[in-house]
Amino acid sequence: MPDLILVLNAGSSSLKFGVFACSETAVTEVARGKYSDLHGTPHFSTSTGTRKASGLSLETGSSLRHVLEHLTGWLASEGHMSSIVSAGHRIVHGGTKYHAPVRLTNDVLDELDALTPLAPLHQPASLEPVRVLRDVLTGLLQIGCFDTAFHHHLGIEARSYALPIRYQTQGIRKFGFHGLSYQHVASELAAVSPQLKGKRTVVAHLGNGCSLCAMRDGTSVDTTMGYTPLDGLMMGTRSGGLDPGLLLHLIRELKMSPDAVEHLLYNQSGLLGVSGISADMHTLLDSSDPHALVAINLFVYRAVAEAARMTAALEGLEVLVFTGGIGENSWQIRERICARLAWLGVLLDHRENRAGAAIISKPESKVDVHVVAANEEIVIAQSVAGVLEIQGA
């Protein structure tokens, strides 16, 4: 039995996992699954090759420890537990210090905890499984992989804010997020063609969280998220970019506390706030409420405007990639975005788009349009395998 790597990808209310076999030549997926609704009644679903299991719900109010104990029990029942040599975790924010996979010691966890104000929804959710798993599987090597790492080498113009230089020296800069997803897209494009990897590419990671990345040669040139995951595109419940003066107005004139403003921007805005109905794009597309259409149109408008900005950063556009839950699954949103980018030479093949094909542009399109299924877990597993090789584990 080859060595196995357990990957945990924690969201604010869900936990995705993967099991990967690690050999000298490749990292291959053995199984994957998800626990959804962690704060309610956790629902467990898995897939192993062509075999899928779903419909199992844990007790309402189950703790994360209970969830991970259930996971380790399932891994044991599948014959995987004894071969797991390490666990890899998606950590949303690495700050200025962490931009490569790192062993998650107590000291490292404390430093990452200090970044929680920069990602209050995500950072605690990223770190809690590390601490719980440490108790459930004592002694297991745990490695953190960072969403910010992909953007660490942004050029000074792309990463800087127009603030006094003393703030830049304190680490205030654009970090960018969704880096593990972008790294996966870069590797998928390279697998299709080395020439494709080198083209001027805008990747749209559209899900509950949304961002764009301008990319060339597998490297981030610019991205829409900034110091925190609030910036840029309109999202499920997050506002995206706002006039800073508006925040001053909320605090000074409307007497909102910083905590209330934070809750508004992270939890009550975006598709949910504009529509007053739902943060789920599928629900809004099926709705006849006029507020749903307003939210959809604003979402598309913001995505198109930011895509144009990313194109300017690249000085042209040759490839457009959709990924993430909305990007992969909503042909309607892809269609609306591409229609408004026709001036850049985007010509969509509507039949291929509605069929969910991997390439959805017409042959004569000046911009190749791809759909790539997000797979952050394989990137984490490959990163962990690299650490294990370095350490000789």
Active-site amino acid positions:
147
Helix axes 123-136, 64-77, angle to 10 degrees: 60
Q: Is 68 left (phi over 0), alpha (psi -120 to 50) or beta?
A: alpha
Q: How far, CA to CA in Å, does 285 sit from each of 50, 271, 292, 295, 341?
A: 31, 11, 7, 10, 21
CB of 225 within 8 A of CB of 92? no
